[in-house]
């Protein structure tokens, strides 16, 4: 099994490593578009064009599945990719609104995402479908992806965002940008037992096996 993993920046590396852990016999090809990161501040059309151009090496490598390991690219571009390349198995990453809404006890969750993801029609659809009656905080994390990309993950002042969420009653935090996987451990240390943290790496691997069969 050959699996391609694409992200706008270094976030996809964390996803690729986790997929490799869960599917150890698969060949993982990971690429990014560091030149144009972050995608979250770009228009929908720009994201579509950049994503389409960036995945060409994965198409040429004839991957069995291509993971779009970027919430922004998934919410804005994956429908275009599936229409343009109907023979390719694309696996996207979306904000985990459905499982968060099912898990919360306080009916209050937080989604940490880029402006592009938060503004996308797909994200609005997820909220309308799965989170009716759920309070959703969407704090301004617009600078996080670029700071993490530039090597500042360890010094990012996450307390300014996370602590007010906890104090407001949030009990589930959704990491809806793969860059944020690099600070998951820091968030977990800060949160402790006060909230659950959701990110989609394990679900991606399960989805890959469902789509193309577990041939390992």
Residues identified as active-site: 70, 177
Residue 138: CB atoms within 10 Å: 18
Pick the closest to residue 113 from 81, 70, 79 (CA basis).
70
| Contacts of residue 170, Cβ cutoff 8 Å, sequence gap at least 6 | 106, 108, 109, 110, 137, 195
> Distance (Å, rounded) from C-alpha 67 to C-alpha 164?
33
Contact between 81 and 68 under an 8 Å Cβ cutoff? The reply is yes
Bridge partners of 3?
28, 65
> Token match 């469902």: residue?
210
Q: In what order do the strands lie in the sheet with 65-68?
A: 27-32, 2-7, 65-68, 90-92
């Amino acid at each position: 099994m050959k699996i391609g993993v694409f992200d706008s920046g270094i976030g996809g590396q964390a996803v690729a490593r986790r997929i490799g852990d869960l599917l150890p016999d698969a060949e993982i090809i990971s690429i990014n578009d560091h030149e144009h990161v972050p995608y979250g501040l770009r228009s929908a059309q720009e994201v579509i064009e950049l994503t389409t151009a960036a995945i060409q090496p994965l198409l040429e490598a004839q991957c069995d599945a291509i993971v779009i390991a970027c919430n922004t690219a998934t919410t804005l571009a994956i429908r275009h990719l599936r229409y343009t390349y109907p023979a390719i198995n694309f696996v996207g990453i979306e904000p985990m609104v459905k499982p968060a809404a099912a898990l919360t006890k306080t009916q209050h969750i937080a989604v940490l995402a880029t402006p592009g993801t938060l503004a996308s029609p797909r994200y609005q659809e997820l909220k309308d479908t799965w989170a009716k009656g759920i309070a959703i905080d969407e704090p301004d994390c617009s600078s996080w992806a670029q700071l993490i990309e530039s090597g500042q993950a360890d010094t990012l002042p996450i307390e300014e965002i996370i602590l007010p969420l906890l104090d407001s009653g949030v009990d589930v935090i959704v990491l809806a940008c793969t860059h944020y996987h690099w600070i998951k451990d820091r968030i977990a240390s800060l949160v402790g037992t006060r909230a659950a943290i959701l990110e989609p790496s394990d679900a991606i691997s399960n989805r890959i096996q469902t789509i193309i069969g577990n041939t390992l």
